[in-house]
Amino acid sequence: MKKLIQIAGLLALAMNAGANDVLIENVRIFNGVDTRLTSGHVLVQDGIIAEVSSEPIEARENTTVLDGGNRVLSPGFIDLHVHLAAHVPGQHFDAYSTLQNVYAAKVAQHYLDSGFTSVRDAGGTHPHFGRAIDSGDIPGPRVFPSGAYISQTAGHGDWRNSTDGNPTLTGGNPYLYDGTSVLVDGVDRHLAAARENLRFGATQIKIMGGGGVMSEFDPIHSLQPSPAEIRAAVQAAGDFGTYVLAHAYTSEAVRRLVENGVRCIEHGLLIDDATAKFVKDNDVVISTQLLVYRELQNLPGVSATNLDKLAVVLEGQENLIRLIKKYDITTGFSTDLISGMYPLLTREFTERAEYWTPAEILVQATSESARVIRMAGKLNRHGNFGEIREGWLADLVLIDGEPLEDISVLTDPDMNLALIMKGGEIVKSRL
Ligand SMILES: [Zn+2]
């Protein structure tokens, strides 16, 4: 009987051979690293890139064979600074708590349809949202969540109205706006907040590490939080084998964060030359964004105080890009779009073309961003991606046009992405 079951199993396996396989023939491959295209064919088996070859690959029975038509095949794109749950448009703010996750699902779908197969959520989205995407119930990119932003009182994540009581002083609920942000002061509470995010499934920890634009009570020059509090968050993250990313603009803030173990700086627009060198010497990432700073001034409802702060940080943008290039600092690709700005997503590609070649931008949006995500170590449950490489996850986009000459083809994904595949699943195909 046991033998019979074994034979039946083998038979089922044989009949099923190739059922989940996809062979993409006749493409020019951008592998995520090399800036030269190579002609070839790619076989995907069980969600994994099984073979990449310049010679024709023989398809098994049941394999889906797609003719790539000599288009460019790239790894799926990655955004390192997303806030899926921060896209409720301003006019609906009074209904924030019920709408934020509905909008998050809409944003996730938009990312996937734009060729983005993985994102790092830089705070505000509950890690369980990423789990729902993994289950297949909600379409979207793979999410590497940071959980609730960790902010001190009067920090960039303290969005209370000016007369609201302080929960860290009164023993109230420290979570603001349905758990988007957690207000903590002191070493113990930083430890607890970071550990709570990890418990929910955060793959890295986000702290607010200095003054911000879209918050009313923290001037840009303010330092947040104390060295001991930073070290507490870093300790909690490190004990889970992962790292802390921190929001910061100024040299003083960035230096304090890096000295106390933060591995990734978000924004960084106001740093000077010596701080950029310090960042590079410590092998720290600066994940920065171009488009959002140019567009925030058009967002309705931004206060005069915050518009002034925006003008101050925007002044530093050009200098920061120069320093990133001068010291060859890892930066990846990121957008930080909020408040319903997500349809602008692919314009980040063309904004970057002012400073980088199309090939450099494509490397940023694939292998370089993937390297940053891998800093989460064993908390990355998904495996390797971001390059077209045998044994890595089959996150692929097939592009009409010549993206290595004209990056603007990526701003119209409906028209120019002929195939989108995430982990071997065909999300879209018009082949
Ligand atoms: Zn952000």
* CATH number of the domain where residue 344 is located: 3.20.20.140
CATH number at residue 419: 2.30.40.10
Q: Output the CA 388–ligand 1 centroid distance in Å.
A: 29
User: For position 299, what pLDDT does the model report?
Assistant: 87
Among 99-103, 121-125, 190-194, 322-326, the range scoring the smallest mean pLDDT is: 99-103
- Residue 68 near residue 423, CB atoms below 8 Å: no
Quick one: what percent of the chain has pLDDT higher than 70? 94
What is the rounded end-to-end Cα distance, in angstroms, of the chain?
46
* Containing structural domain, residue 158: 77-352
Same domain, 53 and 83: no
Tell me if 154 is assigned to some domain: yes
- pTM of the entire predicted model: 0.94
Question: What is the whole-number distance in angstroms between the Cα of residue 313 and the centre of ligand 1?
Answer: 14
- The stretch 353-357 carries a mean pLDDT of 97
The answer to whether residue 292 sits within a structural domain is yes
Same domain, 72 and 86: no
The rounded Å distance from CA 83 to ligand 1 centre is 7
Q: Can you give the pLDDT at residue 370?
A: 98
Cα 219 to ligand 1 centre (Å)? 17
214 C-alpha to ligand 1 centroid (Å): 10
| Inside any domain, residue 64 | yes
Q: Which residue has the tokens 């904004």?
A: 351
Does one domain contain both 202 and 109? yes
Residue 198 domain-assigned (yes or no): yes
Residue range 295-316, pLDDT digits in tens:
998 888 888 999 999 999 999 9
Together in a domain, 59 and 157? no
* pLDDT class of 6 with cuts at 50, 70, 90: low
Please give the pLDDT value at position 20: 82
Q: Residue 4 — pLDDT band, cuts 50, 70, 90?
A: low
Residues 309 and 229 in one domain: yes
In a domain? residue 359: no
* Rg for the chain, CA atoms, rounded: 22
Alpha helices by DSSP H, listed for 135-216, are 167-170, 187-200
Q: Give Cα separations from 234 to 193, 244, 258 (angstroms).
A: 12, 6, 10
Last residue of a domain, one of 352, 369, 398: 352
Domain identity same for 213 and 128: yes
Residue 64 CA to ligand 1 center (angstroms) comes to 40
Closest CA to 422 of 84, 133, 122, 53: 133
Give 288 Cα–ligand 1 centroid separation in angstroms. 10
Distance CA 420, CA 295 (A): 28
Question: What is the number of other CB atoms lying within 10 angstroms of the CB of residue 178?
Answer: 15
Give the model confidence (pLDDT) of 207-256 as tens digits: 999 999 988 899 999 999 999 999 999 999 999 999 999 999 999 999 99
pLDDT reported for residue 91: 61
Closest residue by Cα to residue 234 from 195, 179, 183, 279: 195
Looking at the structure, tell me whether residues 25 and 82 fall in a common domain.
no
pLDDT at site 3 = 54
Say how many Å lie between the CA of residue 7 and the centre of ligand 1.
55
d(CA 253, CA 124): 22
- Judge if 231 and 260 occupy the same domain: yes
Say if CB 211 and CB 267 are below 8 A apart: no
* Alpha carbons 234 and 194: distance in angstroms, whole number: 9
Residues 210, 178 share a domain: yes
What does DSSP assign to residue 215? -
Question: 18 C-alpha vs ligand 1 centroid, how far in Å?
Answer: 42
User: Which are the contacts of 205, defined by CB distance < 8 A and separation ≥ 6?
Assistant: 146, 147, 150, 194, 197, 198, 233, 236, 237, 242, 243, 244, 245
Which residues, at least 6 apart from 410, have a Cβ–Cβ distance to it below 8 Å?
A: 77, 115, 346, 349, 399, 403, 416
Q: Are residues 187 and 252 in the same domain?
A: yes
- What separation in Å is there between the alpha carbon of 30 and the centre of ligand 1? 29
- Residue 81 covered by a domain: yes
pLDDT score, position 100: 87
Please check whether residues 136 and 257 belong to one and the same domain. Answer: yes
Q: Which residues contact 137 (CB under 8 A, 6 or more apart)?
A: none
Domain stops at, among 334, 352, 370? 352
pLDDT confidence bin for 355, thresholds 50/70/90: very high
How many angstroms separate the Cα of 263 from the Cα of each of 96, 237, 247, 281?
32, 11, 12, 12
Cα of 122 from ligand 1 centre, angstroms: 6
407 and 340 share one domain: no
Number of domains in the chain: 2
Rounded Cα distance between 219 and 210, Å, is 9
Q: Judge whether 363 lies within some domain.
A: no
Residue 351 token pair? 């904004």
**Cα 287 to averaged position of ligand 1 atoms, centre (Å):** 10
Q: Which helix (H) or strand (E) holds 294?
A: helix 291-295
Residue 9 CA, ligand 1 centroid: distance in Å: 50
- In the reported structure, the alpha carbon of residue 286 is separated from the centroid of ligand 1 by a whole-number distance in angstroms of 13
- Range 157-184 average pLDDT: 92
pLDDT, the chain, mean = 94
Q: What is d(CA 205, CA 199) in angstroms, rounded to the nearest whole number?
A: 11
Q: How far is the CA of 11 from the centre of ligand 1 (A)?
A: 52
In percent, the amount of the chain with pLDDT more than 90 equals 86
Please tell me the distance between residue 208's alpha carbon and the centre of ligand 1 in angstroms.
9
pLDDT at 7: 54
CA 26 to ligand 1 centroid distance, Å: 40
Q: How buried is residue 344: exposed, middle or buried, by Cβ count under 10 Å (0-12/13-18/19+)?
A: middle
**Token couple for 236:** 């909690």
pLDDT band at residue 178 under the 50/70/90 scheme: confident
**In which band, very low, low, confident or very high, does the pLDDT at 430 lie, cut at 50, 70 and 90?**
very high
Return the pLDDT at 319: 98
Q: Is 230 among the domain residues?
A: yes
pLDDT of residue 379: 98
Instruction: Tell me what pLDDT residue 88 has.
Output: 86
- How far is 247 from 114, CA to CA, in rounded Å? 26
In this predicted structure, the answer to whether residue 96 has a pLDDT above a threshold of 90 is: no
Q: Domain boundary residue among 295, 326, 352?
A: 352
